[in-house]
Amino acid sequence: MGRRDISEDVDMANNNRNTLDIEAKHEQDFRRTILVVDDEPVNLRILGNILKEEYDIAYAETGEEALYVIKNQKDFLSLVLLDLHMPGGNGYMVLEEIKGSEDLRYIPVIVLTADESAEVESLRRGAIDFLNKPYDRPEVLKARVRRAIELSIDRNIIEATGKDALTGLLTREYFFQYAREYDKFHPEQEVDAVVVNISKFHLINELYGRSFGNRVLCSIADGIRSVARGCGGVACRSNADCFYLYIEHQENYDFLRKTLADRLIDISENHDIHFRVGVYPDLYHSAHLQQRFDRALQACNSVSKTTSLDMVAIYDNNMHEKELYEAKLLGDIEKALLENQFNVVFQPKYDIRSGEPELYSAEVLVRWKHPELGYIKPDFFIPLFEENGQIKELDRFVWREAAKHVRRWRDMYGVTMPVSVNVSRVDIFDPDLLEFLQKILADNGLESKDMHLEITETAYTDAVTTIVDVVNSLRDAGFKVEMDDFGRGYSSLNMLTSLPIDALKLDMGFIKGIAENNKEISMVEFIVNVARFLDVPLIAEGVENSEQYLLLKKAGCDVIQGYYFSKPVSSSEFGHLIERSGR
């Protein structure tokens, strides 16, 4: 349909797609802009005259013209008034185009119609309101237009602040709001809490750069968004590399694994990228919302980070029993410290650089004998306490005990035998760490060189700058710092040259297969050369037999620790070793 002249003050779109220069008018004097779409000139004139005092008005006579204006002036349109029945693409077509576009869907649409039966269908297709023809109450029309624009602004602000800037998924806060509302209105619906984690994501950023890491996050987010929509749920980016979904219960999650894997195909061809999925099915809404995702995260974490497969784990009774067991241990630590349920033992380290092995020092280890549960394995309770921030008091207990026994040996044997103690990531971020260590040494008449500090390699790969600053301050105060479990983490050789360390401690995983695997021997020899390059001693732990010992000695290892020489022993037993060493 061609242009119709209806009034000098009515500037309409023509067949050549000429539109009001909205952007220029905004630069001169900000006024919100409304697009009026109707094929009847009289309706355009009426609406234009009613609204022109408060708004800039753009016009279109057909659906095609309307879409042209909307797409080209989308950043400046505050509202569309849309007639449903027009040639050149009806109003429903325009509605679907707007609501189906990520770029246009935020623009509110009020439908103009004299057909009451079309009102519900219009709202279903995305209109936010409707106005009935004829427009015989101008003040009501202006009030509804004003309210529609205000509501749209509020909604867009909420949507902008509620979306993760990188992925477009909900933020954690808004996600939980949506999930709570879902539970409120669908109390009988069986639902699943799902957690997706990208394995070793910090390493992806380090090796390939943050830009590539962002591509990985966005690819995973696209897959998660697709699954959430398909399953009638919502999704969010919970933190850097972790995503949450809240969806209707699914019997099988192979489709999720495949969807995410497919999203990564294009970017992971030459890169080792994997993810883990944990699911907590809460069929009866028996757990509160946060607890459901805590359990889904527990299931996710049960999948080994070192697996080369994209795995899905479902929270089950075994995990629930483990959760209860962990909760009891966490609740009992304070009482255990007060009742002296913990005790320290000492595993000797031997210097093998000369002809005969010589007693070098000892690592201080902690043991827990629970009055109800019996002996608790340290490789279970120590990571648990560290993860929950309760390791600090236990570490301080160990340090105090270590200093006390070093002083006791010196008084008994006239020898100051240095020991090494573990320092967790929690300790590193404690601003009182250095002061506390110095105080317990001073209380026992010891010096910083008498207590070495073991910090795991993986700690160095998190918050590198902060940890390097803390370690530098410890070394400046005279402490020797050993990098523990070297080879388990992901330190690059370039990073190693800038890390402040006084010794490398080889992860025992390299030791177990050294006698059967030539690659393990080659790796140990390589790490020996790294230690030589850094000019620090290499300590091997977990040495259990003579074959391992001889291979390590031949490879050039400096210090040995393990059952081949001695199991962890009590303070008095270690004192006898000092006495027999002749030091």
Note every long-range contact of 38-42, with CB atoms under 8 Å and residues 24 or more positions apart, other chains counting.
38/81, 38/83, 38/86, 38/112, 39/1, 39/83, 39/85, 39/86, 39/87, 40/83, 41/4, 41/6, 41/10, 42/6
Say how many CA atoms lie within 13 Å of 422 toward its Cβ: 24
> Which residues face 234 on adjacent strands?
246
Q: Looking at the predicted structure, is the pLDDT value of residue 144 above 70?
A: yes
Q: What is the pLDDT of residues 401-419, one digit of tens each?
A: 999 999 999 999 999 999 9
Q: What is the rounded average pLDDT for all residues in the chain?
A: 87
Sign, CA torsion 507/511/514/516: negative
Residue 524 to residue 342: CA distance in whole angstroms: 35
Q: Looking at the predicted structure, is the pLDDT value of residue 22 above 80?
A: no
Mean pLDDT of 220-242: 93
Q: Which residues are CB-contacts of 212 (< 8 A; sequence separation ≥ 6)?
A: 204, 205, 267, 271
What is the pLDDT, as a whole number, of residue 136?
67
Residue 35 to residue 25: CA distance in whole angstroms: 14
What is the pLDDT, as a whole number, of residue 510?
82
Say how many CA atoms lie within 13 Å of 565 toward its Cβ: 27
What confidence category does residue 18 fall into, taking pLDDT thresholds of 50, 70 and 90? very low
Other CB atoms within a 10 A radius of the CB of residue 448 amount to 18
More confident position, 264 or 89? 264
Q: What is the pLDDT of residues 68-105, one digit of tens each?
A: 999 998 888 999 999 988 876 688 899 999 988 888 98
What confidence category does residue 282 fall into, taking pLDDT thresholds of 50, 70 and 90? confident
Q: Looking at the predicted structure, is the pLDDT value of residue 26 above 50?
A: no
- Ordered by start, the domain boundaries in the chain are 22-161, 172-315, 324-578
Percentages (nearest 5) of helix, strand, coil residues in the chain:
45, 20, 35
> Which residues face 80 on adjacent strands?
35, 109
Q: What is the pLDDT of residues 331-359, one digit of tens each?
A: 999 999 999 999 999 999 999 998 889 99
CATH top-level class of 22-161: alpha beta
The region of weakest confidence among 50-59, 310-319, 390-399, 493-502 is 493-502
Residue 244 to residue 228: CA distance in whole angstroms: 10
Q: Looking at the predicted structure, is the pLDDT value of residue 425 above 80?
A: yes
Are the beta carbons of 47 and 70 closer than 8 angstroms?
no
Mean pLDDT of 530-541: 93
What confidence category does residue 286 fall into, taking pLDDT thresholds of 50, 70 and 90? confident
What is the pLDDT, as a whole number, of residue 19?
43
Helices (H) and strands (E) in the chain, counts: 23, 19
Q: Looking at the predicted structure, is the pLDDT value of residue 520 above 90?
A: no
Sheet holding 56-60, edge to edge: 56-60, 33-37, 77-83, 109-113, 129-132
Q: Is the peptide bond before 378 cis (omega within 30 degrees of 0)?
A: no
Q: Looking at the predicted structure, is the pLDDT value of residue 23 above 60?
A: no
What is the pLDDT, as a whole number, of residue 2?
37
What is the pLDDT, as a whole number, of residue 122?
84
Q: What is the DSSP letter of 461?
A: T
What confidence category does residue 503 fall into, taking pLDDT thresholds of 50, 70 and 90? very high
- Give the DSSP H or E segment for 373: none
CATH architecture of 324-578: Alpha-Beta Barrel (3.20)
Q: Looking at the predicted structure, is the pLDDT value of residue 220 above 50?
A: yes
Q: Looking at the predicted structure, is the pLDDT value of residue 470 above 90?
A: yes
What is the pLDDT, as a whole number, of residue 137?
84
Are the beta carbons of 22 and 33 closer than 8 angstroms?
yes
What is the pLDDT, as a whole number, of residue 16?
34
The CATH code belonging to domain 172-315 is 3.30.70.270
Same fold, 22-161 and 324-578: no
Only one residue has tokens 């050993």, namely 482
Residues shown for the chain? 583
What is the pLDDT, as a whole number, of residue 489?
58
Please, what is the end-to-end C-alpha distance for the chain in angstroms? 105
